[in-house]
Amino acid sequence: MPVYKFKVLTPNGATLEGTETANTHGEMIVRLKERQYYPVSVEEVIQKDIKDINLLNKVSIKQIAVFGRQFSTMLNAGVTIVNTLDILRQQTEHKKFKQVISDLYEDVQKGYTFSEAMEKHNDVFPNLMTYMVAAGEASGSLDVVMERMATHYEKEFKVNNKVKSAMVYPAVLSVVATAVVVFLLTFVMPTFLSMFEGSGVPLPAPTRLLLAISNSFRNFWYVYLLVILAAVYLFKRFASTPDGRRTIDRYKLRLPLYKGLTRKVISARFCRTLSTLLASGIPLLQAMENVAGAVGNTVVADSIVDSKEDVRKGVALSVPIRRTGYFPPMVDNMIKIGEESGTLDDILDKTANFFDEEVETEVQRLLTFMEPMMIVVMGVIVGFIVISMMMPMFDMLKTVQ
């Protein structure tokens, strides 16, 4: 039976809140009125099954982009917001997103603005999109704003895919290498153990080390598993804290191989988001607040917030951006040109497109470097295991001779 959360006014004017089960929304309202309560709000509490709480149920940036594109197209065709949401909720196949759009449809029918309805689902819709929708509603250009948001998130999706592709190959190779090593230590090494023990030949130090590791893997595998799980848990917990997130973000900007890709991704996000906001008529100071939350790095976000104070005092944006030291020189130079020519939004859009291409180039460069490096590391580990197993066999042959 559905559970409803209600907020009512009692006969003496007091506010009362609570939850109760009922067959339908209408039945819940009738019950409240029978108690002489005046219903202020009655909403169904969505019961989430455990099977629905998984990564596959997460609404992706690509789906947000498609939603924005379809929404913009229907608004341009003269379809009302309510009818647009009704159409989109019927054709959306993603279970969670379908429910979210249905909630938007119901809230807009109740009198909420579209942006207010979106705010209730801040786990699905980015804050930037909600803010831009509110601005579009105020200016009467919601269709234009949704089209810009669709373009923005389409490009963001492409950048994210490029970054993920840089991580897939090393991750797969690392998993394969780990599986090979574990297989050799737990299944191959024990077959040689009885041979080594019965030979009476002193074992070399590398072989003794390898046998010790093999025994620990076979006898205490659960300890290794617990250590790995604990490390992952502690890392995630550390990353969820403000200080931890800031520390990780700071290392991302300093890692020798990864910092170039990180800075270019941040530059692309910064330029694209600021361009979208300025093109929609958002004042620069307000735009910078939203840009800080969109770059995806807390250290850079803090520097952008600090830069806002300089801009408030009348300093050109290019000056504090250059002073942060986190952006390539091209960014502040292009901002300076845009400020002088009065076409900052257009210049930033072109700069974002440039860095999109740079991200792809950086990903290819990173993969080109990491592929042979990972193969060498895997070869060294497997080679060490093979040599450690062969050394006692050579000593046994010498003894026989």
The answer to whether residues 111 and 242 belong to one domain is: no
Total domains in the fold of the chain: 3
8 A C-beta contact, residue 104 and residue 119? no
What's the domain range around 380? 196-400
The token pair at 401 is 């001779």
Half-sphere exposure of 66 (CA within 13 A, CB side): 12
The single-letter DSSP state of residue 42 is: E
CATH number for the domain spanning 101: value is 1.20.81.30
The answer to whether residues 35 and 71 belong to one domain is: no
Q: Is residue 163 part of a domain?
A: no
The answer to whether residues 145 and 264 belong to one domain is: no
CA–CA distance, 59 with 94 (Å, rounded to integer): 8
Looking at residue 200, its pLDDT comes to 66
The answer to whether residues 10 and 36 belong to one domain is: yes
Each of the 401 residues of the chain gets a pLDDT tens digit; together they read 567 777 777 777 677 777 777 767 777 777 878 887 877 777 776 544 433 444 446 888 889 999 999 999 999 888 899 999 999 988 888 888 999 999 999 999 888 889 889 888 888 888 888 888 888 888 788 888 888 888 888 888 888 887 777 777 778 888 888 888 888 888 877 777 767 666 666 778 888 888 888 888 888 888 989 999 999 999 999 988 888 888 999 998 888 878 888 899 899 889 988 888 888 888 888 888 788 878 888 899 889 888 888 888 888 999 999 998 899 999 999 999 999 888 898 999 899 889 888 888 888 888 788 778 888 888 888 888 888 878 877 766 666 55
The model's pTM is 0.69
By C-alpha distance, which of 358, 22, 379 is closest to 159?
Answer: 358
8 A C-beta contact, residue 182 and residue 176? no
Q: Is residue 202 part of a domain?
A: yes
Looking at residue 55, its pLDDT comes to 45
8 A C-beta contact, residue 20 and residue 3? yes
Q: Is residue 386 part of a domain?
A: yes
CA torsion sign for 349, 304, 143, 73 is positive
Q: Following CA atoms 288, 357, 349, 138 in sequence, which dihedral angle do they give, to the nearest 10 degrees?
A: -60
Looking at residue 282, its pLDDT comes to 84
Q: Which residues of 366-396 are buried (b: 16+ CB within 10 A; e: fewer)?
A: beeebeeebeeebeeeeeebeebbebbeebb
8 A C-beta contact, residue 16 and residue 8? yes
Angle between helices 189-199 and 344-400 (to 10 degrees): 30
Q: Is residue 178 part of a domain?
A: no
Q: Is residue 184 part of a domain?
A: no
Looking at residue 16, its pLDDT comes to 76
CA–CA distance, 347 with 341 (Å, rounded to integer): 9
Looking at residue 226, its pLDDT comes to 94
